[in-house]
Amino acid sequence: MGAASVTEKEHFPQEQLTSPIQSTTADANETIDNDGRVKAVIVILCRNSELSPMRRTLREFEDRFNRRFSYPYVFLNDEEFTDDFKKSILALTSAPVSFGRVPDSMWSIPRSVNRSVLAERLEDYESRNILYGGSLSYRHMCRFNSGFFYRHPLLADYEYYWRVEPGVHFYCDLDYDPFLFMKTNKKLYSFTITLEEIPETIPSIWEHTLRFAHKHNLQTNLLRFFGDESGYNLCHFWSNFEIASLELWRDERYQAYFDYLDGTGNFFYERWGDAIVHSLATGLFLNKSEVHFFRDIGYKHDGFAHCIDDGDFGKCMCPDDVVNFDYDWGSCMPKWDQYPEEGYRWEFKPNGDQIFYDERRTKRPEFATNAKKIPSEN
């Protein structure tokens, strides 16, 4: 099935957004095919045992969006997909589909991680009944999604991706191309749900992020959405849904951030999720104008949903028992609404000084380091 023929007006939501911010991506026209599609892909990390929920999700995703645009799928697994899995998926779509295995080098415990300490930490997290606290496979997944998925060979030819997971739901018809919207408006990251993290899973990630910022002499505008001098507010974008630029993660600045975090061992010793890592990276490297909230994509994962009531003649149909989480307790959407488009300047100096948008200056000698500035994108 070829890409739908739609007008420019139909391609975009009501809000026409144009960002003057320089992006890390190439010129828009260089990465749009002759048929008007972006070089984009649907990425799905899935196990053979998740076939049933995956089929339900894929049926919804095809009906709501991809049967019109036929963007390719890449399915990834830490083991080989079975023939039955492949046949069952191929029966649901006419879009191109690739199946790949995650290499052991992307799904393993680094040599630097002390396995005895790791075993103790897993036992401790399990004893405290922290969600996925005792799971080693969950840690592999989070580390893979944080620092490796965009380096998988099957994604090498693409610039944008849409992450989809088995069991999620989509509630709105999309008759425009969100990839083209992102590309045209210089958006590098997007989300539908933003919420607070379980604090026990990431006790040290904020401190490490600030240390990284000082080490590389960073000036940020979005980081204060996630916290301030008093600490991390636990807000993050829920990465089980994300439409984003692969160049954002391929950028050497992000790779340096991931390598720094990975070197701490805390993807394993703690239980750092890729949602936190991706979110704090947007805080370090992006402006708010480069991040988009897809208000018109109804979505549900586990017990959390972004639901739209667009009336009797609208394109969304959320089930009656699905509650919109946008402004419930634990949601960070009110903070996002209130955060200014221009952001709040927050500079980090190698000597430990921090300079704020109101020209205040705070000395934090515990963060002093020998600076190594990350090369800019320009």
282 in Cβ contact with 237 (< 8 Å): yes
CA-CA-CA-CA torsion sign (270, 276, 282, 283): negative
Amino acid at 140: H
- What is residue 201's three-state secondary structure? helix
Write the burial class of residue 199 (CB in 10 Å: 0-12 exposed, 13-18 middle, 19+ buried): exposed
Write the burial class of residue 340 (CB in 10 Å: 0-12 exposed, 13-18 middle, 19+ buried): exposed
Amino acid at 354: Q
Give me the half-sphere count of Cα atoms (radius 13 Å) on the Cβ side of residue 77: 18
Cross-strand pairs, 300: 169, 305
The DSSP bridge pattern shows strands 189-191 and 291-293 to be parallel
Structure tokens at 180: 């083209």
Query: Can 377 be counted among the known catalytic residues?
Result: no
Structure tokens at 231: 């600490």
DSSP E strand stretches across 270-369: 291-293, 299-301, 304-306, 346-348, 353-356, 361-363
Which residues contact residue 9 at a Cβ distance below 8 angstroms, ignoring those fewer than 6 apart?
Answer: none
Task: Provide the H-helix boundaries in the chain.
Answer: 8-11, 51-61, 67-69, 83-90, 115-127, 136-147, 178-184, 205-215, 246-250, 252-263, 266-269, 274-285, 333-338
Cross-strand pairs, 132: none
Q: Which residue is catalytic, options 62, 197, 242, 290?
A: 242
The DSSP bridge pattern shows strands 353-356 and 361-363 to be antiparallel
Rounded to whole angstroms, the Cα distance separating 40 from 48 reads 24
Q: What is the DSSP letter of 161?
A: E
Active-site positions read 242
